[in-house]
Structure 1
């Protein structure tokens, strides 16, 4: 748990310098040479020295001072480096410098590269690494007190005088949570502990599903055969932060494979939020779904897929595409294709693969080992291959030339392409003649000319879903933004005109081909812009048929056999649950995972859809949480993305479910909360998503955020006095914009992993450019293994505030080894949200008797 640290100057007489503990000489005992530069423990029973990669320590030990040394082994490795190790007086722990900075961390927004480092400890008994009050700073020169209860170190931070800090020696167990300064109906752990379930995956026969769930400190995979209750087949209860994803089932549902561990960063590192002494890897696991078998480790890699004939499994490993028998002995994998292979898809008979490689479509015959590359122009990129139902052909999309930047950080002009995207078809024979592919259809110029795909795997959990859908009736479905809304269309498989399948104001977000291969089941907000519902439509055309309606949302459509459907259902006080819909329209939610008894459903409030003008008169939207017991405070919440939309209830993205629960937490404490859908957000059409001047081109979306604060003030029934603002990612950027531009409006902010510094021409529109007016308190939090926003972005903001706005009250929360959303462990998630929420409420709620 995070604690506020103190800054007293330590007495030099109380702390032993590191150099005093080094033992001179090079001793050889029992054939083991201990280097002359090795650091000896005070009791003489162990010695350590920095390894060759300078990111860990070699260790030798002996039973007594006169005994022989053990064989050297690596005590631990750590992200970053190891410098200046020093033993505790009792010899059980070593403290050291852990330099981390001076590089881009992997986020798509890079700021000025800064230096940072921590003081860390390693306990030889518990084999645990701990960090001493990490901050946006350089911490150096650790020294132990004579009694070993404290450690002092030097902190160097821009804008502040160099200081010598003293902190308590880390305990083996984390400290207990402190009582809330602003108690309400429920604690933050109660609401954040609601289960999060991810989109189910179906077996090939459509009679089984499997899905990942996160239940507080526990992660699990559940398996369900239709007609039977769901049951956990893989359980990880220890809150170690290793994610589960990429679930796949055999055709008959008897075997399940999955990935354990998150994707790598730009240095090839898998997330390690618990700072384990050995870096984790991304692993492929297999488990038999009947008989109570335990999961078996197959190897390392990602994206495991099972052949339709249930004979083999393939996955992407560091060396290339690997294949193994689905049910055979462990360790029998073979390399099929070397190099990077993306998006592999089995043919319907399981004998061939189609995949992407370096902008090409390639085909590979698993029996003959023939391989063919589909020809294309040099400036074209081919992607998203799908097989025809008979396996004779593949279809794919093609883009040519420079395309609009969908994931940029600012407006770059209309989202259109000079060369419209197109759909092509090629023979599915891997060993045949290299025939030129045939164009089936091409988008028209202007609106819809740039490919704007479906959001098929919003939570990055390895959902295998396509952008093209080849029906058994000879039609190919696809998504197109021709009328300014993201809709589904279809063409004949031999080419022809596109027919609109999903008319109306609103957008299709994701889609799946029905089990019989004749219709599409899709998630959308057509007719209900603030929620998601499911409908189906024949690829041959006809009126769409609604499958779900109501005040809750539904997503993650997974078609099953005989017209059944699995999906996720989430309401405003009902956490997301996997639900099965029968062909007659009756639905039932799965009992697993169970909702905890302490979940505060009765204390939550139903959010209301609202619209309001930005400061320039353009209309913005949002969800308003009106507290049952108002206390005169207001909170503006701004989502990240920027391509996101919040819902009137729980969200399909896990981080946004957490943030929805945080909004409920603030409402429970008496604050009116407005979640702002600012311009450039999704699901409200091309014009709203492609708003001019957003981001580093003008920060136009901030006009809607400030308009949201004005709206809260204008509601006489809410009686809002002070207003705070918070958000994650792009929401952190907008939080910083609000405090930098309008501290007169926003009394406090909670900035999580925000973007703060636009480089070059965009700088005038960044928060950094306006920070001279910043006066409001701010809580800044970031994980230093962020793969979405460069960690340097938070470093430069903290440096600037200390140097130029030293009177601003600022709390720095650095979480070593955490990624962008800072939720890999339940402990980190609840600690961060509790501390950040309390910080905001301290400024927003005036205690009785105080002005």
Structure 2
């Protein structure tokens, strides 16, 4: 009897410790901001805010920068807002509504399962609000320098329409291939564009209907990213090799060549002004934004990975005077050139604090000298900076470990004003958020693994724990709210899991960004050996060795690439990982290497064997841990069939598993209600399998 009472007392005590103090919906109720833009002149900004699925545009202007909502979309319908821009005269905002711009197929999204087919539309609205004008069906709008016209794309062609919508859109010109990457000339009289023709691509200039398209230095290469010189007399662009029929080794690493070329628009004379060194590190940068080619006043600016970190360089238009603008062991991203074309602003993972390696702060640098200066510092996250049109004020998206992202004004090395703080709901549990701790440990092969450790405010003996694995894989999780919407949801879920009583370790494994080229591009990773899985296993083992952690109650979850590594963990190491949630993961890395018209690669057979051994489906027979599979069936990033195949294999094995299928949504949970449903299912499953069995 006494023993029974003691057990009852212990259970009641444990339930009080594990009692959640906030709901998952409340911690996901933040108004996530994106698409922060500044007007080319003056001090106006705009951004899109996702408030529990209701996506709207907000504006703010000097001197008070009060957030003003100018659209009234009141449904959680899964229609995203992208491509925001403010016209040069500051009177219009142009944007796109619809589509999935984080997926490989940017077509319309019907996440709400509407009986009426959704569209992707280019829209305009006055900066002060009012009637929304439909410019046309299409994507990727670009406002003309005189603020009167808009270019946009549809079905591989470039269209033009008046910004006020008084005339229907029409084709600007015709060219074969998929045409995009268009840029107005500084005077607004011409348009440079890219014509992608599968195995090669040209840069062309459209002048008027009477003048044939001018092709700039056409070759057998793929030309891309054209930028005009400030005087409109020249164009610079990136040149990479065309797609040939040569048969390369699959498993060996190869330099991906690229160069910068310029062309005189009047004469058509072109030349290569710079070629990347022929090293693996100096390959075309496979990071967001690629080479980030821009033409400043008297310099051409670009990003290169050649010294082992993604850095900004400038060069004279004749190819001389190349200068590293941002030296150091850190990476730059979110790069913007000021309207005066003298100053670059960007985010970087560096600062006075050693843990800034896992943060983002804002910096500026001149285009002609390496005089990098911090615009923000401290223990927060500052990303996606922009410069006001008067080139005097800087803005960014700002967060901390406790507070979600908000637009902000930065000056004097710190955030001086948050914009739209009142949009955070009163029930958002900011005081309940924990501050994650930066940790490091070693994988079996000696690789350093990085992570953030979320610990409950009230620790107990035999704490259950969870390894969180991000997707990408070229992403980095931070010591605060992530400025990407997908990972902000996961950050909120991690906070909720900690509030339930779990210890959570978010792992920054090799293949991710933030730690240099060799970490980002390791040998034998992915389908070539899954070397990065060592980091995930090391995370589980590190947790298991921590004081107070119950080594028999360690779970794992992750989405996309994180789902792939979660599945590998459950298949290969069920004794270490007691339960897991595989969210739209890649479960089979094997694919035929045969391509029509090409001989198979010399190592195709070996590569296929390694790809199969790198696939979670190869470990079905040792997969014993309880598993929840989650997938949306309009996923444009990971084929829904990946989960169908895994489910069939489980069924053939008579292995019981749980699942959640989301009809019509995509990889990015376009509907807030679906993102909430996925997070709730993940938390309930892990709690039931790891905590309720105590």
Q: TM over 0.5, yes or no?
A: yes
Look up the match of 2:80: 243
CA change 1:268–1:451 in 2 (3 A) is closer
Name 2:274's counterpart in structure 1.
Answer: 441
Identify if the C-alpha distance between structure 1 residues 507 and 495 changes in structure 2 by more than 3 Å, giving closer, same or farther: same
For the pair 1:482 / 2:306, whether they are aligned, the reply is yes
Matches within 5 A, 1:838-849: 838-846=684-692
| Structure 1 residue corresponding to 2:445, chosen from 616, 619, 626 | 616
**Per the alignment, do residues 469 and 630 of structure 1 end up closer, same or farther by CA in structure 2, a change over 3 Å counting?**
same
**Residues of 1 paired with 2:210 and 2:403: CA distance?**
53
1:516 aligns with 2:340: yes
Residues 201, 412 of structure 1: alpha-carbon distance in 2 compared, 3 angstrom cutoff = farther
1:541 aligns with 2:366: no
Partner of residue 722 from structure 1, selected from 538, 553, 576 = 553
Residue 193 in structure 1 maps to residue 29 in structure 2: yes
Partner of 1:39: none
State the partner residue of 1:550.
Answer: 378
Alpha-carbon offset, residue 718 of structure 1:
4.3
1:317 is aligned, of 149, 154, 157, to 154
Paired position in structure 2 for 1:491: 315
Distance 2:18 2:82 in 1: 37
Asked whether the 8 Å contact 1:199–1:568 carries over to 2, the reply is no
Q: Judging changes above 3 Å, is the alpha-carbon distance between structure 1 residues 630 and 585 closer, same or farther for their aligned structure 2 residues?
A: closer
2:538 counterpart SS class: helix
The Cα shift of 1:440 comes to 1.2
Mean Cα displacement is larger for which, 574-583 or 678-687? 574-583
Decide which moves more: 180-189 or 383-392: 180-189
| Paired residues, number | 642
Q: CA deviation at 1:449?
A: 3.1
What is residue 587 of structure 2 aligned with on the other side?
756
Mapping for residues 631-642 of structure 1, pairs under 5 Å: 632-642=463-473
SS of the residue corresponding to residue 830 of structure 1 reads helix
Alpha-carbon deviation of 1:615?
2.5
Counterpart selection for 1:818 from 665, 669, 677: 665
**Where is the helix percentage greater, Structure 1 or Structure 2?**
2
- For residues 189-222 of structure 1, the C-alpha deviation after alignment (integer angstroms, 9 at most, x for no partner) is 0111111101311222142211111011311111
Q: Contact 1:351/1:367 (CA < 8 Å) preserved in 2?
A: no
Equivalent residues of 1:201, 1:209 under 8 A apart: yes
Q: Is the 8 A contact 1:676 1:708 kept in 2?
A: yes
Match of 1:467 among 288, 292, 315: 292
The verdict on how the C-alpha distance between 1:714 and 1:437 changes in structure 2, with shifts beyond 3 A counting, is same
Q: Give the TM-score normalised by the residue count of structure 2.
A: 0.88
Q: Unpaired runs of 5+ in structure 1?
A: 1-179, 404-409, 458-465
Residues 309, 518 of structure 1: alpha-carbon distance in 2 compared, 3 angstrom cutoff: same
Q: 1:594 to 1:411 in 2, by over 3 A?
A: farther
Task: Please tell me whether the aligned partners of residues 411 and 696 of structure 1 are also in contact (alpha carbons under 8 angstroms).
Answer: no
Aligned partner of 1:50 in structure 2 is none
Equivalent position to 2:416, from 560, 572, 587: 587
Report the Cα offset of residue 375 of structure 1: 2.0
Q: 2:114 aligns with which of 276, 279, 285?
A: 276
Contact 1:263-1:282 within 8 A present in 2 as well = no
SS at 1:700's partner residue? coil
Q: Which residue of 1 aligns with 2:425?
A: 596
1:593 deviation in Å?
6.3
Question: How many Å apart are 1:351 and its aligned residue?
Answer: 1.2
Gaps of 5+ in 2: 1-15, 591-607
Of 442-451 and 501-510, the range deviating more from structure 2? 442-451
Q: 1:518 to 1:415 in 2, by over 3 A?
A: farther
Alpha-carbon offset, residue 582 of structure 1: 4.8
Note the alpha carbon deviations across 1:791-849, whole angstroms, 9 max, x for none.
10000001101111x243x112111111013x2111111112112210111111146xx
Equivalent position to 2:255, from 416, 429, 432: 416
- The worse-fitting range, judged by mean Cα deviation, of 632-641 and 555-564 is 555-564
Q: Does residue 1:625 correspond to 2:471, yes or no?
A: no
TM-score by length of 1: 0.73
Distance 2:467 2:429 in 1: 23
Contact 1:411/1:690, CA 8 A, preserved across alignment: no
8 Å contact from structure 1 (residues 563, 583) kept in 2: no
- Name the structure 2 match of 1:203: 39
Q: Distance in 2 between matches of 1:387 and 1:572?
A: 41
For the aligned residue pairs, the C-alpha RMSD in angstroms reads 2.3
* Counterpart check, 1:563 vs 2:563: no
Change (3 A) 1:442 1:311: same
1:354 correspondence with 2:354: no
Write the deviation string for residues 221-243 of structure 1: whole angstroms up to 9, x where unpaired.
11222224221111211101111
Q: Secondary structure at the match of 1:234?
A: coil
